[in-house]
Amino acid sequence: MSWALNKRLSALKAYVPGEQPEPGKYIKLNTNEFPYPPSPAVAEETANSVLNMNLYSDLNCTKLKANFEKVFGFGGENVIFTNGSDEALYLCFLAFCGPDKGVAFADLTYGFYSVYADLCGLEKTVLPLDSDFKLIPEDYYNCGKTVFIANPNAPTGLKLTVEEIEGILNNNKNDVVVIDEAYVDFSDGSCAKLTEKYNNLVVVGTFSKSRGMAGARLGYIITNSDLVKDIETVKYSINPYNVNSLTQATGAAVLENDEYYKDCIAEICETRDDFTKNLKKIDFEVIPSQTNFVFAKHNEISGKDIANKLREKGILIRHFDKERIADYVRITIGTPDQMERVYIALEEIIGGK
């Protein structure tokens, strides 16, 4: 134990990110990254932005925000950009939780919710998903906490309907509900429109999973102007220049080239559905996914063995050594070629046991 670490943090268990090996060493399907390169125009605009990096970045992300509005339909007083959506989530924890306001989230969901709650010293209400890993909306009704829900959820890939989200919003009138839409572009749709109808909804999203910017760190928040002000108070108390100028330029260019990304997203969804069918052929149980990953288990081989054996074959996936899901593996959807190679490797593993 460290002599210097503040006692309040002595038991804190930090988030454990998926491994980031040197590029090219593995087929890397362990952290739900985008498998395609940026469009050429994006690379060029990013390179040009380097010429202005002697200046602090634009506090209002003006160009990025204008382009975001064209693609997403939200801008102005309703959007904040962040250094990845992890920062967006952290700002929400700081702004809407405290000694008098704990948090509620699912037992199987994005690992950072629990870490941020511990970092902030919050009371946690952990609500179990049902036996099919479905989130039970009614469990969250009038819970008296700030609610955090990943929708679609990770690592399950399942998604609540807009009506189910509305039920949670209607039954938490005095509390903020944060919907984390990291994977929404691979799903049947966003609930961001509801921010116009409900004053307690905050939607968080990211350019990491569907727009190829995981390494550039760009996230966003969509909510009403009152809650934007609350979050900005916190943001300006930590790091006003939270989105650097290179990332702002990249994000603006990505949105200008949105067609390219939409095509890639469509291909990822198609690849996911083909890969799911293939997994079922070799006796995997696969949870229907609305994300860029699948969560699956095999009845004869443990999740841990599958992950280890794939690693030996140069393929990295994610296994969580956690109650209820230890049998499962989470496999990011890569290019069709990569998924073909994963399928062949799995056939060999299962054939050989």
Q: Which residues bind ligand PLP (CB under 6 A)?
A: 32, 84-86, 110, 150, 154, 180, 182, 206, 208-209, 214, 219
Examine residue 23 and say whether the peptide bond preceding it is cis (omega within 30 degrees of 0): no
What lies within 8 Å, CB to CB, of 67 at 6+ separation is 251, 252, 255, 256
**d(C-alpha 138, C-alpha 140), whole Å:** 5
Query: Minimum CB separation from ligand PLP for residue 145, in Å?
Result: 19
What lies within 8 Å, CB to CB, of 261 at 6+ separation is 39, 210, 211, 212, 254
* Helix, coil or strand: residue 227: helix
* Helix, coil or strand: residue 122: coil
Q: What's at 171, amino acid-wise?
A: N
How far does the chain reach from its first CA to its final CA, in angstroms?
42
**Which of 148, 260 has the CB closer to ligand PLP?**
148
Query: Minimum CB separation from ligand PLP for residue 66, in Å?
Result: 21
Query: Minimum CB separation from ligand PLP for residue 181, in Å?
Result: 8
**Which of 65, 318 has the CB closer to ligand PLP?**
318
**Which of 115, 345 has the CB closer to ligand PLP?**
115
**d(C-alpha 259, C-alpha 126), whole Å:** 40
**Which of 221, 296 has the CB closer to ligand PLP?**
221
Query: Minimum CB separation from ligand PLP for residue 106, in Å?
Result: 11
Query: Minimum CB separation from ligand PLP for residue 182, in Å?
Result: 4
**Which of 106, 301 has the CB closer to ligand PLP?**
106
A 10 A CB-CB count for 225 gives: 9
**d(C-alpha 163, C-alpha 155), whole Å:** 22
What lies within 8 Å, CB to CB, of 253 at 6+ separation is 41, 42, 44, 45, 46
Query: Minimum CB separation from ligand PLP for residue 100, in Å?
Result: 26
**Which of 220, 260 has the CB closer to ligand PLP?**
220
CA atoms in the 13 A half-sphere facing the CB of 167:
12
Q: Where are the alpha helices (DSSP H) in 200-257?
A: 225-238, 245-256
Query: Minimum CB separation from ligand PLP for residue 184, in Å?
Result: 10
**Which of 39, 292 has the CB closer to ligand PLP?**
292
Query: Minimum CB separation from ligand PLP for residue 143, in Å?
Result: 20
**Which of 209, 235 has the CB closer to ligand PLP?**
209
What lies within 8 Å, CB to CB, of 22 at 6+ separation is none
